[in-house]
């Protein structure tokens, strides 16, 4: 999408949950367009291998494994990023967890785990990033990763969908507090996307191809292209918005079940 422009030169980004899938592709594309990226994942081996793969392509990427549901780790990550690269200008809160379960039997421990990572981790990463950007006085971008389940009801995902809808409201709310500091805050709501995780299900691509108006589920590149746009200078007057990337599924919303 931005193959010849290098529009992220001199930008420094954190991408969480980026050991594979959508997060990895966002990190890789940011690096390819000139950014220095701190790649986070809770899986240390995965984070290091992912960062090494990007570095092997000739880009600047540093692995920083850790649990972004921990406020202490988030503070450490932001501080280490600023210390290593001199600043922080972009944060992509991609880390999240999906715990399926019927509403009537959903255990409190699952609810709190989903909320702590999906909501708490995203909220606190945005907070720590905003503080660092304000200190620099240079402006920047924050991007939340929502989901179509924050727009349309999806069986066994009451807790997950609730957190994703909340992230979109958080993006709107932060406009009031961060716009004066030239910080944009937006969200992406991906639909069905082929990743390492979903690729394990042989029915995933056929089912979602059948019920998606565009005839296929998304590839990680589709989501990363949208992410790069929303943290780039091309979207400098867009904030508080949520962009659905789902091949039209939310317009018709047939269930995959």
- Which of 146, 147, 184, 232 is catalytic? The answer is 146
Instruction: Bin 152: left if φ > 0, else alpha if -120 < ψ < 50, else beta.
Output: beta
- Which of 122, 141, 164, 232 is catalytic? The answer is 164
Q: Across the strands, what pairs with 209?
A: none
Tokens of 24: 């990895």
Answer positive or negative: Cα dihedral of 125, 130, 29, 205.
Answer: positive
Q: Strands, E, within the chain: which ranges?
A: 12-15, 36-39, 61-63, 90-93, 140-145, 183-190, 193-194, 218-219, 242-245
Number of residues that this document lists for the chain: 257
Q: Examine the residue annotation and report whether 4 is marked as an active-site residue of this protein.
A: no
| Helix, strand, coil % in the chain, rounded to nearest 5 | 50, 15, 35
Q: Examine the residue annotation and report whether 164 is marked as an active-site residue of this protein.
A: yes
Cα 218 to Cα 216: distance, rounded to the nearest angstrom = 6
Burial (CB count <10 Å: 0-12, 13-18, 19+), residue 226: buried
Q: Examine the residue annotation and report whether 59 is marked as an active-site residue of this protein.
A: no
- Which of 36, 122, 147, 160 is catalytic? The answer is 160
Positions marked active-site: 146, 160, 164
């Amino acid at each position: 999408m931005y193959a010849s422009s290098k529009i992220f030169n001199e930008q420094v980004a954190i991408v969480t949950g980026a050991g594979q899938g959508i997060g990895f592709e966002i990190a890789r594309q940011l690096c390819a367009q000139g950014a220095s990226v701190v790649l986070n994942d809770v899986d240390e081996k995965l984070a290091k291998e992912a960062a090494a793969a990007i570095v092997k392509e000739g880009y600047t990427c540093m692995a920083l494994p850790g649990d972004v549901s921990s406020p202490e780790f988030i503070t450490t990550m932001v501080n280490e990023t600023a210390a290593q690269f001199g600043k922080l200008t972009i944060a992509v809160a991609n880390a999240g967890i999906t715990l399926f379960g019927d509403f009537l039997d959903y255990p409190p421990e699952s609810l709190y785990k989903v909320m702590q990572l999906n909501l708490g981790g995203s909220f606190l990463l945005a907070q720590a990033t905003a503080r660092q950007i304000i200190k620099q006085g240079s402006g920047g971008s924050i991007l939340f990763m929502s989901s179509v389940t924050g727009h349309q009801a999806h069986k066994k995902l009451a807790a997950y969908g609730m957190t994703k809808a909340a992230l979109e409201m958080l993006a709107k709310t932060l406009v009031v507090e961060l716009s004066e500091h030239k910080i944009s805050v937006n969200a992406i709501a991906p639909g069905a996307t082929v990743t390492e995780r979903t690729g394990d299900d042989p029915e995933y691509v056929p089912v979602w191809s059948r019920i998606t108006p565009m005839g296929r589920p998304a590839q990680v590149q589709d989501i990363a292209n949208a992410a790069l746009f929303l943290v780039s200078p091309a979207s400098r007057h867009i904030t508080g918005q949520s962009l659905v990337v789902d091949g039209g599924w939310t317009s018709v919303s047939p269930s995959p079940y």
